[in-house]
Amino acid sequence: MIVADLKPVGEIAESISPFQKVSIVACGGCVSVCLTGGASSADTLARELSHPRHYKERPPILATTTIQRQCEKDFVTAYLNLPRDTDAILSMACGAGVQTLAEIFGKVPILPALNTSFLGSLDEPGVWREKCQGCGSCVLAFTGGICPVTRCAKHLLNGPCGGSSNGKCEISKDVDCAWQLIIDRLKALGRLDDYEKIFPIKDWSSDRGGGPRSMQFSSKKT
Amino acid sequence: MSYFVVNENCNGCLACVENCPANALRFKDTDENRTILHNMAKCVRCANCWRVCPQQAIEFQHFLENEWDEVKSLDLVHCRVCGEPIYTTDLEKTLTGKTGSEIDALCPKHRELDFAARQALVPFRRAA
């Protein structure tokens, strides 16, 4: 899922301080599941942001609402109802949701309440870890289901660098060497032959280096 | 049918209500009763309630596997040759209205037969 983190309250308060009536829009998608941008978080944030200590002048009047998926333009257009005199929207969605609102509400400033962090998984209650960078050409079939693009600091595709020591990455003793994990996993699967395969130079044009990416559904693919 | 199923282990501690990120759970205390309420429209099925419940009272499997709700029942048109159901009478009306022409009730297989061959076939009686 997309994992996001709440911005510091002071930063959010500063961004909404020029406005009189602010609608806080929570999202019922990924950010609800990662406990940062759902309806409950919106209520908690609204309570905090309504405190005068965050402002030089009067706090804005705040309203909260939730839309199930803030990143779907037609859905949001049809079902998101805001107070008519809203003069700014504080979005609690990921960056995709914020930009969807910006496209729909041409004359209303859209302010992000969250820092969108990564594509990750819930490894244990309350702990999300990055697992995918959305590079556009997945290699997990050959790496034991462990992504070297995301989990190797150098994005290496053909084994570990010289900085791997006792299963840890040289950048931190708390970071596992992705290639150590991959080799251990391939060994357990009896597929060490996969480790001998040489990956050709990766085509990074499907990554962000090729500009903003898009995808169009086609039933012909299946 | 219920998706949010709570078993007899529940002791009303409200951990689920307090930890629901979607405000999909509430409780109501009356004189002698505490009632836990769930709103499926607000629920994002994150399973946080199941995760935090100290009593293991939430049977989340009902969110994952459940019965089908019948949401609409419509009359069907059948292929006039083999009787295979092909589309609804309402869709037929919609298409007839848009195209301005009658639609021959034929399944894809029999639609491929040439006109002469189709004429030779005995028409299938339309199902009631």
Residues 104-163 of A with CB under 8 A from B: 125
Q: Are A35 and B52 inside 8 Å of each other by CB?
A: no
> HSE of B46 in the Cβ direction (CA atoms, 13 Å)?
33
B114 to chain A, minimum CA–CA distance in Å? 28
Read off the pLDDT band of B115 (50, 70, 90): low
R_g of chain A, CA atoms, integer Å: 22
Measure CA A34 to chain center: 10
Position B113 pLDDT exceeds 80: no
Q: Are A88 and A59 in contact (CB under 8 A)?
A: no
CA gap B35, A29 in Å, rounded:
27
Region B100-111 average pLDDT: 91
Contacts of A77 (CB under 8 A, 6+ apart): A104
Write down the pLDDT at residue B112.
83
What pLDDT is stored for residue A124 in this prediction?
92
Q: Does A97 touch chain B (CB under 8 A)?
A: no
Q: Taking CB atoms and an 8 Å cutoff, what residues of chain A touch B20?
A: 40
Residues of B in contact with A41 (CB under 8 A): 21
Look at residue B1 in the predicted model and tell me its pLDDT: 72
Q: Is the ipTM of this structure higher than 0.90? A: no
Q: Is A61 exposed, middle or buried (0-12, 13-18, 19+ CB in 10 A)?
A: middle
The CA-based angle B53-B57-B58, given to 5 degrees, is 80
Q: What is the pLDDT of residue A216?
A: 85
- pLDDT at site A107: 94
Task: Tell me which of A169 and B126 has the higher pLDDT.
Answer: A169
pLDDT on residue B125: 55
Q: Can you give the pLDDT at residue A53?
A: 96
Q: Which whole number is the average pLDDT over B61-86?
A: 95
User: Is the predicted pLDDT of residue B124 greater than 70, yes or no?
Assistant: no
Calculate how close chain A gets to B18, using CA atoms only, in Å: 9
Among A40, A44, A70, A122, which would you mutate to test the B interface (most chain B Cβ atoms within 10 Å of its Cβ)? A40
User: What is the reported pTM?
Assistant: 0.86
Query: How many Cβ contacts (< 8 angstroms) between chains A and B?
Result: 34
For residues A188 and A174, the answer to whether their CB atoms sit within 8 Å is no
A39: closest chain B residue by CA = B22
Residues recorded for chain A: 222
Identify the pLDDT of residue B117: 67
Cα nearest neighbour of B17 on chain A: A40
Q: Decide if pLDDT at B119 tops 90.
A: no
Structure tokens of B94?
A: 């919609």
For residue A67, the distance in angstroms to the closest alpha carbon of chain B comes to 9
Evaluate whether A27 touches A70 at the Cβ level (below 8 Å): yes
Q: For B27-59, write each residue's pLDDT tens digit.
A: 999 999 999 999 999 999 999 999 999 999 999
Q: For A35, which DSSP code?
A: T
CB B38 within 8 A of CB B16: no
Please name the residue that has the structure tokens 């596992």. Answer: A176
Q: What is the pLDDT of residue A215?
A: 84
- CB contact A33 to B (< 8 Å): yes
Q: Is the dihedral of CA A147, A150, A153, A158 positive or negative?
A: positive
- Per-residue pLDDT 10s for chain A (222 aa) are 999 999 999 999 999 999 999 999 999 999 999 999 999 999 999 999 999 999 999 999 999 999 999 999 999 999 999 998 999 999 999 999 999 999 999 999 999 999 999 999 999 999 999 999 999 999 999 999 999 999 999 999 999 999 999 999 999 999 999 999 999 999 999 999 999 999 888 888 888 877 888 888 877 766
**3-state secondary structure labels for all residues of B37-69:** EECCCCCCCCCHHHHHCCCCCECCHHHHCCCCC
Q: What pLDDT, on the 0 to 100 scale, is given for residue A213?
A: 85
Q: Which residue of A has its CA nearest to B19?
A: A40
Give the per-residue pLDDT at A17. Answer: 97
A28 touches chain B (CB under 8 A): yes
